[in-house]
Each structure stands twice: as C-alpha cells, then as structure tokens.
Amino acid sequence: MNPIRLAQQMKFIAEVDKLKQVVRESWLVDASRKETDAEHSWHITVMALLLSEYANHDGIDIFKVMKMLLIHDVVEIDAGDTFIYDKDHAKDQNNREQKAANRLFGLLPADQKDEFKVLWEEFEAMNTPEAMFARAIDSIQPLLLAYLNGGCSWRIHSISKSQVIETKKHMGNGSSELWKYTQELLDDAVKKGILKS
C-alpha cells in the first residue's frame, strides 16, 4: 500500500461528498423537493446500465459510460449547477467548470487525475459512442422527472417544448430510440398542459 496515494484518494472521496449538497433545478418524481447532483449521478448511472441496449452504437463500453456519468458533474462542487435553460449563467460555464476540473481531479494521484480529466473532457466533447450515449442518458433523466412530476421545473421557468427540443436534440446521436421516446413524452406533456407548446 502506498500511503500517499491512499491519502490523495481519500481526500478526493471526502471532497466529492459535497456533491450531495449541490441542488439542481430538477424536482423528484413526487415533487417533494429538488434533487442533488449526487442523486442525479446515481440515477443516470442506473439508467445507463438498464438502457444500454438502446445505444446507437453496438458494443459500447458501458463501464466507461458509467464512469463518465459518475464523474461528469463533480465539477459542479466548485462551479455550481448551471440550469440548462439559463443562457446568462451558461456564458462562463466552461471557464468555471475547467477551473473546477483542474482543482478537483488534481486532488487525485496522477494516473487517476489524468483518467478522470480525459473522461470528463470526452463526455463534454460528445465525440465518441460512449460519450454520445452518456449525454443522451444525462439529458433524458431530468426530462423524465419533469414529465412524471407534472412539469415542476418546466412550469416554474415557463419552458416551452421548442426550448426542450433545442437543448435535448443531441440525444439522437447517442440513442435514436430514446430520442423518439422523449419526443413522445414531450407531445404528451403539451397535451396534459404541463409544458408550453
């Protein structure tokens, strides 16, 4: 055992506990409260495991997808959650998140720091089959929550179907089947009056 390596890993583990305190704009299915980043990360990782058969590309590395999903929001410990429809707050999102990635992944031993940073960058770039599928799963989860909780965040922020489509259309790159399902949910949400047309 390398005590320095273990100490670095434990420091990172303690730091990522703060993800439990980062509150998102997505409400739970029962609409009792907003979810945290830690809850979101767990939920999307389970979803990826269950829904991997719907990936556009055969033979994706589901373990790699799960790693991306578990670490992609770690940067929000420092950078905060940026609501996907908040264009003003998104202007400096990349700078905030890059700085956070450097600090947070920098807590790890060099090999893990490099692995996590590369996975995070791959997820953000969305240019591999794994990253495209991971982004599709990351995108469908809050949408599904909004649909099931009666459109909490959609109604609070006066979100329209066209806004959702604009921010979620990349899902088709990772899973055309889940994108088709998403569009059906959106049509139904408009019919139910929980999403503006």
pLDDT tens figures, 4-22: 999 999 999 999 999 999 9
Distances (CA, A) of 138 to 11, 108, 112, 152, 192: 27, 25, 23, 18, 24
Average pLDDT, the chain: 95
pLDDT at position 89 is: 62
Percentage above 70 pLDDT, the chain = 99
Q: State yes or no: pLDDT of 65 exceeds 80.
A: yes
Are 101 and 75 in contact by the 8 Å Cβ rule? The answer is: yes
- Per-domain residue ranges of the chain: 3-192
CATH for the 3-192 domain, from 3.40.50.1110, 1.10.1200.10, 3.30.460.80, 1.10.3210.10: 1.10.3210.10
Question: What does pTM read for this prediction?
Answer: 0.94
pLDDT in tens, 69-122: 999 999 999 998 878 787 776 688 889 999 999 999 999 999 999 999 999 999
Two tokens, residue 124: 């953000």
User: How many CB atoms lie under 10 A from the CB of residue 156?
Assistant: 10
CA dist., res. 152 & res. 29, Å (int): 9
In this prediction, residue 82 carries a pLDDT of 79
